[in-house]
Amino acid sequence: MSLEKEISLLKEEKAILQKGGGDAAIEKQVAMGKMTARERIAALLDKESFCEYDLFVKHEVHDFGMDKKELPCDGVVTGTGTINGKPVCIYAQDFTVMGGSLGLMHARKITKIMDHALKMQIPCIGINDSGGARIQEGVGALAGYGEIFYRNTMASGVIPQISVILGPCAGGAVYSPALTDFVFVVENISKMFITGPAVIETVLGEKISQEELGGARVHAEITGNAHFYSMNEKDCFDQIRTLLSYLPSNNTKKPDETKVMAPTFKGKLEDFIPADPKQPYDVRDIIKAITDGSEFFEIQELFARNIVIGFGRINGQSVGFVANQPLYLAGVLDCDSADKAARFIRFCDAFNIPIVTLEDMPGYLPGVDQEHAGVIRHGAKVLYAYSEATVPKITVILRKAYGGGYIAMNSRHLGADFVFAWPCAEIAVMGPDGAANIIFSKEIKDAEDLEAMRKEKIQEYKDKFANPYVAAARGFIDSVIEPSQTRAMLIHTLTISKDKTEVRPTKKHGLPPF
Amino acid sequence: MSEEKQELVDLTIEEGTYKTLLTEKFKMKKKYEPKNTDHVYSIIPGTILKFFVKEGDTVKAGSPLLILEAMKMENIIKMPFDGKIRKILVSDGVRIAKDTLMVELDK
């Protein structure tokens, strides 16, 4: 018996379905500067590794004339493939099919591939390009969103979840990306908001463009909803592949180790740090001087730039860096930088990635706006995240470590495994200027030359307390090291900590100050 | 990004003054101004539906001043203390933004 006829029918049917919304709709998509859903998957995954499922799924809506409408694949492409040779689950919404709108079957395709990712313990990537809920499906569309959110939450901390915003992502649709670990946006293409410009103008009379309200740059710089920002889809896919190279496939594994490379940086680490603690420098130069191949993959580069987070490798091992950035806002902690750091620390902890903290910060950002925005509640997240983490935690105090900031930045007291300080470190309850003004207030007030006395007392405080040796004398730091020894010390302590185990009290879950 | 082109500024944290760059969000922030308790501001953007008082009226605390319709809800704005209506700055049917000064009062 020959199956020739059946096979050719299958091929024909597949070819039609894989065209999505058809030539005219594809042309429109291209005119918007966007790739199609299938092109995106092909561009992101390893060559010819994609295997599609649920191509033949149909929607089930009969109202509003929908029964006569064919929606190929119900507007979403789902399947499995590999990135860097490792398996992933993926879905991509197809804007050419009814604007990528989400109906119940569309959502069920997504939840099916998410369930698969969780069962197979592999990362799940969602490419969002959708006008939102399919209104004709009514509550069925809402059910669909809810079922996706539930799975995002169940998979959280078990498998890496990545959201790529390559088109509109509005209303309820924004909450799936918000629940995932990393959100990628592309200039001019990504648009995310709860309420769009049209509604805002009708209801509130405020006029704003989609780009200004929720474009890629806004989410990368102002809201912090996005973690990676790029100028085109190709660069975005490169970023995703690089990110995954630093991560394990699930929370029971460690990231793959790579070949050890020396830093390409040649020179003296201490030359980056100005002698005057009030002068800035770019802490990313220090990170790059320490990491394998001097490579550092920064996360949320534009958001809360006063703290730097990202991945690098030390001796072939994937490491999460958290570093105060004196170049911006003097490297203070504030609401945004606390949120940024805390979430990253929790990610590293969930996925067995050691955390290296580089500290140089003068304290918390003062201001009514900060206090009213809840800097107490936000700042507490950093304390919680560091204390809770059981991965290897190593701190290097580069320069300033004052007051609450000293405690917050992975101090010994929050459970750091190793704490080192450079000889220029100032570990003290507050900066010398403030401390001298309080401790020696009487001497300064009674002095003939107020300013000269103030200067003298500030110097006295500096000599006595603004150094690493007071903390070292109490064992709060393990050693004062030369800057040039930093990489060697990190390699040593990371190697020592490879099988670190630390037990936490049994609980249903903790209550981080969300 | 173009850090080199930006100008370092002074930022004071706990009496220490540091040379640093500012973030865009920091530059965007508004300076805090204390609220004048004799002024009634809109709590939400919306439309003025109706006034219950006119300038010069003496009004008891808790009496309705006006209705501000917003998000399909009619919000009754009440007199915060016993006093007099000094000035009304908005009129019926007008759509206003959040924090718009609507009424000035005298104690």
Give the whole-angstrom CA distance, residue A360 versus residue A401: 6
**Residue A112 pLDDT greater than 90, yes or no:** yes
Backbone CA torsion sign across A57, A59, A65, A67: positive
Q: Within a 13 Å sphere around the CA of A22, how many CA atoms are in the beta-carbon half?
A: 4
Q: Please state the rounded mean pLDDT for residues A51-69.
A: 89
pLDDT tens by residue, A335-352 = 999 999 999 999 999 999
B14 interaction partners in chain A (CB closer than 8 Å): 362-363, 366, 402-403, 430-431, 433-434
**Residue A80 pLDDT greater than 70, yes or no:** yes
A372 interaction partners in chain B (CB closer than 8 Å): 32
pLDDT tens by residue, A447-462 = 888 889 989 998 998 8
Check if the beta carbon of residue A405 is closer than 8 Å to that of residue A364. yes
Residue in A203, A207, A340, A364 to test binding to B, most B beta-carbons within 10 Å = A203
A362–B contact, CB cutoff 8 A: yes
How distant, in Å, are the alpha carbons of A83, A307, A385, B99 from that of A426? 45, 19, 24, 45
The dihedrals phi and psi of A473, each to the nearest 5 degrees, come to -65, -25
Instruction: Tell me what pLDDT residue B4 has.
Output: 53
How distant, in Å, are the alpha carbons of A40, A163, A164, A484, B107 from that of A178? 21, 9, 11, 40, 48
**Inter-chain touch A222–B24, beta carbons under 8 Å:** yes
B21 interaction partners in chain A (CB closer than 8 Å): 280, 305, 327-329
Check if the beta carbon of residue A396 is closer than 8 Å to that of residue A322. no
Q: Which residue from B minimizes the CA distance to A367? A: B32
Residue in B8, B24, B25, B31 to test binding to A, most A beta-carbons within 10 Å = B25
Residue A452, SS3? helix
Pair type for strands B101-106 and B83-88 = antiparallel
Q: Which residue from A minimizes the CA distance to B19? A: A279
Instruction: Tell me what pLDDT residue A281 has.
Output: 96
pLDDT tens by residue, A253-305 = 999 999 999 999 988 898 999 988 899 999 999 999 999 999 999 999 999 99
Instruction: Tell me what pLDDT residue A466 has.
Output: 87
Burial class (CB in 10 A: 0-12, 13-18, 19+), A63: exposed
Give the whole-angstrom CA distance, residue A40 versus residue A395: 40
Give the whole-angstrom CA distance, residue A332 versus residue A326: 8
Q: Please state the rounded mean pLDDT for residues A379-402.
A: 97
Backbone CA torsion sign across B29, B31, B32, B38: negative
**Residue A322 pLDDT greater than 60, yes or no:** yes
A331 interaction partners in chain B (CB closer than 8 Å): 20
Give the whole-angstrom CA distance, residue A271 versus residue A201: 53
Model ipTM value: 0.83
Give the whole-angstrom CA distance, residue A473 versus residue A466: 13
What's the whole-model pTM score? 0.93
Per DSSP (E only), the strands in A411-458 are: 418-421, 426-428
State how far residue A293 is from chain B, nearest Cα, in angstroms: 22
DSSP at A197: H
